[in-house]
Amino acid sequence: MKPAWAESSLNWLYIDFNSYFASVEQQEQPRLRGRPVVVSPVMTDTTSAIAASYEAKAYGIRTGTPIWEAKRRCPGILIVPARHDMYSRYHHRILKEIDRHIPVAKVGSIDEMACELMGREKLKSEAVALAGRIKAGLRQNIGEYVRCSIGIAPNAFLAKVAGDLKKPDGLTVLEAADLPGPLFNLKPRDLPGIGANMEQRLLDAGIDSLPALWDLGPREARRIWGSIGGEMFWRELRGEAVHRAAEGRHSVSHSHVLPPSLRPEYMAQGVARRLAAKAATRVRRIGCAARLLHLSVRFDDRAHEKWSADFRLTETQDSFVILEAVDRLWQRMVAESQADQGRRLRKVGVALTDLVPETEITGDLFGGGSGFETDPALSEKRVKLAKAIDKLNAKYTRDTVHIGPLPGQRKGKKPETDFMGAKIAFNRIPDEAEFKE
């Protein structure tokens, strides 16, 4: 005779923290509690919010709302600078707390985790009780202002959808027998994996509602998506277990919205060089070499014009080669965009892409880049020097030793390096080491 839990359709529990960055700030700073708060990457009105508290959301302020607009909508709103290192520390504390109740199977982002239910945990009553214990543990050991919504469903995809149905601090159970009813209150764009481009594809195919999306067949979904991903989405929507292969790392990137003091072209170039040096440090730390450097800039004007270009490299870990590539691309950008005629920049980004593991490199591991190849023996010595610098900075603090001047570094003036702290992307949590690079 099968145990009762074997008949349950519930297999996953998904935890989604509400307004995470803003909630952590409210937990850390009592003066922010119960008040509209926005977290800003740079303390200037020309940037956009990266998080908003629920009190701010009541005014229509969301992630991506320009700071000047947030101030217009809510004159008393509190703007606080982002502290990514603190959000990362909270993340790891949260993981430890959840692990006290159930192992975390998947980390979706800095504020989302999925847990697989086992045995009696699959029973609805047991799963709900487990969710209650997790919430109580978080309140007691992390803080009452760091709240989460929990969804319980047949697979991780639907568990995430269930968690989104009630925020903040919600708990929703979505069993297979409930489908598709509760989903029909949503729009296709509300589902994970459907962004603006996919929404437009669906509209072009005449799919403008959840009932219409539900009525698709797997072949139709594959055709609209243009890949097997459409069929996988179709199956996940129905509660099936779908295995998605994990992808390896293909790039290391850093970008920064520039404060007004760093927007002149000559200052912004220093930021680009420092971001490239930071990316090179990470490439060495993860045991890879890069074969392509990508530079992008956005100008500080009404059109927010963009410029970007690539520079092909021989497989390299050499910071000197990478910085030379940045300088060459920068000269090209200045020539093509008239940046030297007083144009100010708004954002700078650098990416090292087409990464290959050290163990899989054929030929010259420490070679130079197109047009400025160097003696392999000399380049190998430079990489050894760079790794020694990495160790010193990791032991003490970043920029204890650095190559070339730092942005704004002049006699009697402290360089501007606040932008160098690691940043949290939507689907990647920085390693602790990154905050020292």
> Which of 301, 305, 348 shows the shortest CA–CA distance to 329?
348
Q: How big is the chain by its Cα radius of gyration, in Å? A: 24
Contact indicator for 17, 91 with CB cutoff of 8 Å: no
Residue 98 corresponds to which tokens in the numbers above? 């959840």
Look at residue 383 and give its three-state secondary structure. Answer: helix
pLDDT at 433: 56
* DSSP state at residue 322: H
Looking at residue 389, its pLDDT comes to 74
Which pLDDT value is given to residue 266? 86
- pLDDT on residue 79: 97
Contact 391, 322 (CB under 8 A): no
% of the chain surpassing 90 pLDDT = 58
**Nearest of 122, 108, 223 to residue 157 by alpha carbon:** 108
Contacts of 331 (CB under 8 A, 6+ apart): none
Pairing of strands 78-81, 37-40: parallel
**Domain 1-178, architecture per CATH:** 2-Layer Sandwich (3.30)
pLDDT at 409: 53
- pLDDT tens track for 200-219: 999 999 999 999 999 999 99
Instruction: Please give, one letter per residue, the 3-state secondary structure of 89-108.
Output: HHHHHHHHHHHCCCCCCEEE
Query: Cβ(27)–Cβ(4) under 8 Å?
Result: no
**Residue ranges of domains in the chain:** 1-178, 188-246, 251-436
Tell me the two tokens of residue 159: 């568990």
**Within 13 Å of residue 277, how many CA atoms lie on the same side as its CB?**
26
The two three-digit tokens of residue 282, written as one number: 């990470």
Q: What is the CATH number of domain 251-436?
A: 3.30.1490.100
Which residues of the chain have a pLDDT value below 50? 363-373, 411, 419-420, 426, 437
Q: 97, exposed or middle or buried, with CB in 10 Å at 0-12, 13-18, 19+?
A: middle
User: In one letter, which amino acid is 342?
Assistant: G
Q: What is the mean pLDDT of the chain?
A: 85
Is residue 360 within 8 A of residue 282, CB to CB? The reply is: no
| CA–CA dist 115, 104 (Å, integer) | 5
∠ at Cα 134 (128, 136), nearest 5°? 105
| Element at 395 (helix H, strand E) | helix 376-395
What pLDDT sits at residue 404? Answer: 65
Contact 228, 236 (CB under 8 A): no
pTM attached to this predicted model:
0.67
Which single residue is written with the structure tokens 């940037």?
47
Please check whether residue 298 is in contact with residue 346, taking contact to mean a CB–CB distance below 8 angstroms: yes
Helix/strand/coil for 306: strand
**Closest among 424, 423, 425, 422 to 433, alpha carbons compared:** 422
d(CA 339, CA 106): 45
Q: Residue 414 and residue 82: Cα distance in Å, rounded? A: 21
- Asked whether the beta carbons of 346 and 304 are under 8 A apart, the reply is yes
pLDDT for the residue 295: 95
Residue 148 near residue 16 (C-beta atoms within 8 A): yes
Of 187, 343, 213, give the one whose Cα is nearest residue 269.
Answer: 343
